[in-house]
Amino acid sequence: MINLTCWLCLPVAVALVAFAGLGEVLGQSGLLFYASFDNWPLADLAAGSRAPLKNMGGRIATGRVGGCLALDGNSYLEFAPKGNIGGTACTISLWFRPRDWGAKKYDNILGLSADNVNAFHLERSHPGGQLRLVLGGPDTADGAKTRSLFSREPLENDRWVHIAACWDAAAPRVELFVDGKSVAKNTQPGPTPLNVPVFLVGAGFGRLGRAIKGDIDE
């Protein structure tokens, strides 16, 4: 599932969740997007559109709990970001099981941009295989102007991991969590996404060029 909120980041039993609003957590107001992928490749709840704009081959399969979104490296979902992603502060959390981590070198689990402008990419760091969170803003067309946070350990094939990432431009603060533990944090001013152009699940920078092979679940 995918879950989006903001700002307090906690492990939640969902595949993809998004919240908006400082200190909001699952179960409180501020939930923007919730997709369990138990039965269909669309959101269970959404402040914006529930249905994907594009389904490039994503399918429902047996997952960690119930169903999951299974991606084969040549597939992804694209949702409308309007209403589903927080503006200046947001938290995104999901469960992920890589199947061939590193097949695309910089495999992208999720992206809110297809390039460096207003970037939010959950991707593989090369060559070590750690999880990398890339953040950019309106003026980061040059990738050297983006900033990154990294997990301490590489992700392992066929092992479920819970991932959560938060940003708050006003604080300022960005933080990356793996299995409920904070693994990286930055409280210095820097680029954060604003008016994100896309909402890609299973892809990010370059879309299919970095599409993952793996499962997203609750």
> Can you give the pTM of this predicted structure?
0.89
pLDDT score of 189 more than 90: yes
Which of 14 and 192 is assigned the larger pLDDT?
Answer: 192
Q: Helix count (H) and strand count (E) of the chain?
A: 0, 18
Domain count along the chain: 1
CATH of the domain at 206: 2.60.120.200
Question: Residue 129 pLDDT > 60, yes or no?
Answer: yes
Q: Which is nearest to 32 in space by CA: 110, 73, 76, 86?
A: 86
* Whether pLDDT at 5 is above 90: no
Report the pLDDT value the prediction gives residue 20, as an integer from 0 to 100: 59
Check residue 30 and give its pLDDT.
79
pLDDT tens column, 135-161: 999 999 999 999 999 999 999 999 999
82 occurs within a structural domain: yes
For the stretch 26-60, pLDDT in tens is 344 478 999 999 999 999 999 999 999 999 999 99
Q: Are 200 and 78 in contact (CB under 8 A)?
A: yes
pLDDT of residue 23: 39
Please report the pLDDT score of residue 134 as a whole number: 97
Examine residue 218 and state whether it is found in any structural domain, yes or no: no
Mean pLDDT of 182-188: 97
Q: How far apart are CA 62 and CA 8, in angstroms?
A: 30
More confident residue, 210 or 88: 210
Owning domain of residue 209: 3-213
pLDDT of 76 strictly over 80: yes
Residue 107 lies inside a defined structural domain of this protein: yes
